[in-house]
A and B are shown apart, each in its own frame.
Chain A
C-alpha cells in the first residue's frame, strides 16, 4: 500500500517535471543578439498576455533587429525589489526595463540609472508620436514636468451593478452621485427578520485608491496633497483637509453608511458580487473580465462611471495601473535603444488592442480606436466602452498622488474608513484622524530625508 502510494506520487512528480521541462523554451543566444531584460508584475492570464507581447516582439521586430526580450515575473511589487537593489548599490543587476505602479515613480526618479521616456523621445529610432498616448495616462507617470515612465496597463474605478436587482427594486439608472448611491443602497438591501443583512446594496472598502478618486474628482479637478499631489515636487502634506474636499466626501459617504445596506470590508468581492450578495460594487475596470467569467449567464450586470461626490463635479476618475520605466545599468546606449524599441512596440496600436482584449486594461494609445474590429469588439463588450469613456471624460489632473509613503497612507485611510463605517468613529474623528496621521507620517519622512 505504501509502496504503491510512493510509486504513484513519484509518477505524478515525474510527469510534472517532464511537462515543465518540455515547455520551457529558451531564447536562442547568438553573438549579434541583444537581450533586453523586462521585469513584469503580472500574474495569471495577464502574465500570459504580457509574455505574448514579448514573444511577438521577438518574432517580428526583434528578429529583424537582433533583439530578444526576456520577460521575467518579479512578484507583484517591482519598486520594492528595485529599492532593495539600489540600497545595496547593486545596479548591475538592474533590468533594462521594469513595470511599476505610479507610486514607485518618486523612488525610481532618484536612481541615476533611470532613462526617462522624455529623454528617449528625441532618439534616432523613435517612431512613436507621444501625442498618440492618452494625456491623462501620460500625466500619471510624469514627474516635475518630465515624462518618466510609459503607461502600459491602465484602468479606471467603476461602479459595477446587478441590472436585474436594480430593475427589480425599481431603479432605472445606476446612481450618478453618492447621494443617489445611498438611496439605492437603502432600496436594494434585504434584511431578514433577525436583523441580519442578507443582501447589501454596496460593497467596497475605501482605501487610498478609491479615496484618490473621490477627492480628485471634485470640482473641475482637485489635488490630494501639495505640489499638485506630489507631481511637481515631493508631496509634504495632504491638502484634502484644508480645502474641505475630504469633509465633502465623508458627509456624502455617511449617507451611504446610514442606508444600512453598505458593507465596508471586502472578503471575496468578485465572488460575492457574482453570487448576488451585493447589488453594487465599486472597483477597478481591470476586473471586468473576471466578473464576466464568474457571473456567466446567471444575471445581467453592467458598469457605470464612478459616482460623483457633488452633483456638479467634473473631474472624473484617476488613472490606475502601471507603466514601464527604463534603465541603463551598463551605460550602453545601444542597449537603451534596443529597450526603447520594445517599449514603443508595447504601446503600439495593434499590441495595445490585443492586450486590451486579453486583459481588459484600457488602451493607452488613441490610435487603437482606429483599429479594424474595434467597433465590433465594443458592441460585444459594452462594459469596456464605459471604462474607456470614463477615462476620456476625465481631467488629466485627476490622479493618484505621488505620496511616497503610499502604503502608510493606504493603511491610515483604510483603518479610519472602516472605523467610520462601523460607527466606531464619528465623521470628525475620521476626518481629523486621516488628515493628521497622513501629515505626521509625511513630516516624519521628510525629516529623515532632507
Chain B
C-alpha cells in the first residue's frame, strides 16, 4: 500500500516530465548546448577556427559595449522593434474587427488579410527591393514622393520595418480574428444595447477579452523582432543598402562578425548582450501578464 502510494507520488512527478522530454531534449541539443558554448566563448579569446585560446574575462564585453558600431546597431534594433510589433498588431486588430462578422464574401477577404503570412523573407525582400527603387519602383510613383527609401539615413530602417510589418499582418490577423470571434456573442450584444460606441466597445470590452492573444502576439513579436537579422543581411550584403550602419541589427551585426569576419570575440559577446537585453524585456512582459491578462 505504502509502496503503491510512493509509486504514485513518483509518477506524479515523473509523468509531466515524460511529456516534456522530447521538447527538452531538442532544446538542450540544438539550442542550449550551442548557446552555452557561445556564452563560455564570450569570456575567451577565440581564433578564426572557433578554438578557445585563453580566458580574457569581460574584455570582449567591454570592447563591444564601448564600440560605437554596437551602439548604433542597438539603436537600430530598438527602432525596428518599436516600429514593427505595435504597428503590425494594430493593423491586424483593425482588420480583425472589420472581418469579425461572417458575411457571404468573408472567405475572400479573410484570405487576403491573412495571405502575407505565407510570404518568405527572400521573396518579400525581392518584391520590395523593386518597389522601393526610386525611379522604376511602384512606391514613389504611387505616393508621388521622391524618397530614396533604402539609401536615405532616415528612411532605410523604416523601409525595412515596413517589409516586416507587412509580412506579420497575416499572422497577427488570424490570431486576433480567432480571438474576437471567440468572444461570447451575448457580451457584445449587451454592449450594443448599452449604446456603447464602437471605439469604447473595443477598448473596454474586446481588449480585455482578447488580452491573452494580444499578450501572446506582443511577446512573440518582440522576441522575433529583437532577434531579426535576415532582412538586414539580405539588403546590406547585396549592396542594396550602402550604409550598413543604418540598418544592421544586433543579430545581423553578430552574424557578420562571427560568420563573415570570423571575429568570434565580438560576435559571441554581442550575441550574449542581445540575449540579455531581450531576456530582461521578456521578464518585464511576464510580470505584466499577471496584471493585465485575463484567463477565464
Residues of A near any B CB (own CB < 8 A):
2, 80, 83, 86-87, 107, 110, 196, 205, 207, 264-268, 271-272, 275, 277, 404-405, 407-408, 411, 414-415, 418-419, 441, 444-445, 447-449
Contacts and interface: CB of A to CB of B under 8 A. Distances in A.
A81 B271 CA distance: 21
Nearest to B49: A87
Nearest to A89: B49
Interface of B: 45-50, 53, 107, 129-130, 132-136, 146, 148, 150-151, 236, 239-240, 242-245, 256, 259-266
B261 A415 contact: no
B47 A448 contact: yes
A268 B128 CA distance: 13
25 contacts: A86-B49, A107-B48, A110-B49, A205-B239, A205-B242, A265-B148, A267-B150, A271-B136, A277-B135, A404-B262, A405-B261, A405-B262, A405-B263, A408-B261, A411-B244, A414-B243, A414-B244, A419-B243, A441-B261, A441-B263, A444-B266, A445-B48, A445-B262, A448-B263, A448-B265
A268 B136 contact: yes
Contact of A448 (B46, B132, B245): B46
B26 to A, nearest CB: 20
Contacts of A408: 256, 260-261, 263
A445 B263 contact: yes
A407 B256 contact: yes
Given A267-B151, A408-B263, 10 more contacts: A83-B262, A87-B49, A110-B49, A207-B239, A265-B148, A267-B134, A415-B243, A415-B245, A418-B242, A448-B53
A318 to B, nearest CB: 18
Nearest to B240: A267
Contacts of B256: 407-408, 411
A265 B130 CA distance: 16
Contacts of A205: 239, 242
A107 B49 CA distance: 10
A277 B133 CA distance: 12
A207 B240 CA distance: 13
Nearest to B239: A266
Contact of A415 (B48, B49, B240, B244): B244
In terms of DSSP, what is the predominant structure of the interface of chain A? helix
A267 B131 CA distance: 11
A158 B129 CA distance: 26
A93 B264 CA distance: 24
A271 B134 CA distance: 11
Contacts of B53: 448
A266 B265 contact: no
B187 to A, nearest CB: 32
A8 to B, nearest CB: 15
Contacts of B151: 265, 267
Contacts of B132: 267
Contact of A272 (B49, B135, B244, B261): B135
Residue of A266, A411, A418 with most partner-chain B CB within 10 A: A411
A275 to B, nearest CB: 6
Given A87-B49, A448-B48, A267 B244 contact: no
* Closest CB pairs A-B (n = 7): A265-B151, A407-B260, A265-B242, A408-B261, A449-B47, A87-B50, A205-B242
A449 to B, nearest CB: 5
Given A407-B256, A449-B47, A275 B136 contact: yes
Contacts of B243: 265, 414-415, 418-419
Contacts of A275: 135-136
Contacts of A419: 243
A440 to B, nearest CB: 10
Given A264-B242, A267-B150, A414-B242, A80 B259 contact: yes
A444 B263 contact: yes
Contacts of B244: 411, 414-415
A126 B263 CA distance: 40
A306 to B, nearest CB: 19
A149 B132 CA distance: 40
A207 B266 CA distance: 23
Contacts of A264: 242
B143 to A, nearest CB: 16
A275 B136 CA distance: 9
Residue of A86, A407, A441, A448 with most partner-chain B CB within 10 A: A448
A433 to B, nearest CB: 11
B94 to A, nearest CB: 26
Nearest to A414: B242
A407 B48 contact: no
Nearest to A77: B260
B146 A196 contact: yes
A196 B148 CA distance: 12
A211 to B, nearest CB: 14
B47 to A, nearest CB: 5
A156 B83 CA distance: 42
A405 B266 CA distance: 13
Nearest to B132: A267
A419 B240 CA distance: 16
Nearest to B243: A418
Contacts of A272: 135-136
